[in-house]
Structure 1
Amino acid sequence: MGYFIGTDDAVKIFVEDVGPSDGQVLFLIHGWPVDHRMFEYQMNQLPKMGFRIILMDIRGFGKSDRPYTGYSYDRLSDDIRAVIETLQLKNIALGGFSMGGAIAIRYMARHSGYSIRKLALFGAAAPSFTKRPDYPHGMAKSEVTKLIQQTYTDRPDMLTGFGQIFFAKYISESFKNWFQSLGLDASGHGTAQTAESLRDEDLREDLGKIIVPTAIFHGMKDQICPFVFAELMHKGILDSELIPFKYSGHGLFYDELEKFNRELIRFLE
């Protein structure tokens, strides 16, 4: 079932609701620059186990509205709050991949973990996606600025290059084409604006505000969000569990699909 939910700034957010209505709720936030369909291989399996999966397209992506402004982590976390309140979701698990993980962290800090009982972070783009004077990890800000420039001049080529370092295992051409199509379906401007947030936002002070059990899923071969990110999140988040994926790159949800789904179900139960 799919429907739209309005936010306080009149942006409509697309939500897909899969699985039994009385099932334990897992709310999933996709990463940059794709949409909720990246979780296809979780949507296929978890509802069979009795889970209700709520998935939203971040504004600017998928079927959600594409406003010209409003792509800060604060605003994107407020969109999560709007969905949770509208659907009257209680005692749920929140999961976020890559930039979606960063937004989930900001949600936990900004909204004091409202309605969340557990948090799952998948290859999260945190604590900071880019290097800083006191933080030598991740991409240089200039590298992300180049991605933004490519987005405005040749977005298909940018997506092709980004996709080449996404997965650690062999991916068929058909799968590559499908995955790239998710990025092509996004708003070009929304893709660039959220990349600016990836470049500029700093979540280090948010980590200590998370007070629910947290699982950190992270690929040890990740070339986009290096594994040290997971180690820093594990250190900064009280009551967190680090689950390494030895054979995975950034796309751990597909690189080690069976392990990913198995560990996620274990953590949720």
Structure 2
Amino acid sequence: MGYYVQVDAGVSIYVEDVNPGSDKTILFLHGWPANHQMFEYQFNHLPQMGYRCIGWDQRGFGKSDKPWGGYDYDRLADDLRAVIEALHLQNITLAGHSTGGAIAIRYMARHGGYGVSKLALIAAAAPSLIERSYFPYGLKKEEVLTIIKGTYNDRPNMLRGFGDMFLFQHVTQAFSDWFFQLGLQAASWSTAAIANTWLNEEKLFYDLGKINVPTLILHGVHDQVCRFPLAEAQRQGIKNSKLVPFQNSGHGLFWEERYKVNTELAHFIG
């Protein structure tokens, strides 16, 4: 079932809730520039295994409202708190992909992990998506500036280019078109605003040490967006965490090795 949750004055977030009768809940946070539909291959199978799967469309993306502002990690973490409270969620597993993983980490630090008993980070954009003098593993600033420029000048072409670096395995043209359409459902200003957030000193080194729940880190070794050293830094920074490398995946392991992702999540949650 799908419904809306108001998280801020005049801002409503779209939520998809599958198998709501289960007491084993996973709340999925999508990556940039997609929406909750990117987890189609988790929502197809995990409910069959007894899990309740909830996906949100972050503000500015998918079916959610698309305000002009509010795209920093603090505001997005506050949106998540509002959704968790509105749905009366407790003892959930919070699973975030890419920027969704960064939002999950900020939520754990900013809100003390309210309602969350376990955390899953899937190709998470943390502790820094951008290369820095003290952390030389992220994307170069110029690469992100190119994404922002492309968003304002030819967003469809930018999305096609991003899709080309997203996956390690070969995909059909039909799949590529489907993923491309997910990005087009976002507002152009929201798409650019999140990319600007990566640039504006949005980093999560301090946040990692504030996570106090069991954490599963799933990451493709061929990831060209959030490179594998980011996962190793997450493992070092988060107590009680486990890193599982995906040898045949890039940034899209939720599809490229979907059976393994689903199996690892089910084993982790129990």
The normalised TM-score by structure 1 is 0.98
8 A contact 1:217–1:242 mirrored in 2: yes
8 A contact 1:20–1:50 mirrored in 2: no
Please name the residue that 1:74 is paired with: 74
Query: What amino acid does structure 2 have at the position aligned with 1:172?
Result: T
Which SS does the other structure have where 1:165 is aligned?
Answer: helix
C-alpha separation between the residues in 2 aligned to 1:257 and 1:84?
26
Residue 20 (structure 1) shift: 3.8
8 A contact 2:132–2:138 mirrored in 1: no
Please name the residue that 1:149 is paired with: 149
C-alpha separation between the residues in 2 aligned to 1:197 and 1:105?
15
Please name the residue that 2:243 is paired with: 242
After TM superposition, which residue ranges in structure 1, 4 or more long, deviate above 6 angstroms?
none
C-alpha separation between the residues in 2 aligned to 1:196 and 1:7?
22
C-alpha separation between the residues in 2 aligned to 1:199 and 1:123?
19
How do 1:29-178 residues align onto structure 2 when only pairs under 5 Å count? 29-178=29-178
Which SS does the other structure have where 2:60 is aligned?
Answer: coil
Residue 9 (structure 1) shift: 3.1
Residue 264 (structure 1) shift: 1.0
C-alpha separation between the residues in 2 aligned to 1:10 and 1:49?
37
8 A contact 1:122–1:216 mirrored in 2: yes
Query: What amino acid does structure 1 have at the position aligned with 2:29?
Result: I
Residue 135 (structure 1) shift: 1.4
Aligned Cα RMSD in Å?
A: 0.8
Q: Tell whether 2:198 aligns with 1:205.
A: no
Q: How many residues align?
A: 269
Residue 137 (structure 1) shift: 1.2
How do 1:215-226 residues align onto structure 2 when only pairs under 5 Å count? 215-226=216-227
C-alpha separation between the residues in 1 aligned to 2:8 and 2:177?
36
C-alpha separation between the residues in 2 aligned to 1:240 and 1:145?
33
Of 151-160 and 140-149, deviating more is 140-149
C-alpha separation between the residues in 2 aligned to 1:22 and 1:218?
27
Of 20-29 and 78-87, deviating more is 20-29
Residue 23 (structure 1) shift: 3.0
Residue 262 (structure 1) shift: 0.7
Distance 1:141 1:9, change over 3 A: farther
Which SS does the other structure have where 1:5 is aligned?
Answer: strand
C-alpha separation between the residues in 2 aligned to 1:33 and 1:216?
21
Query: What amino acid does structure 1 have at the position aligned with 2:254?
Result: F
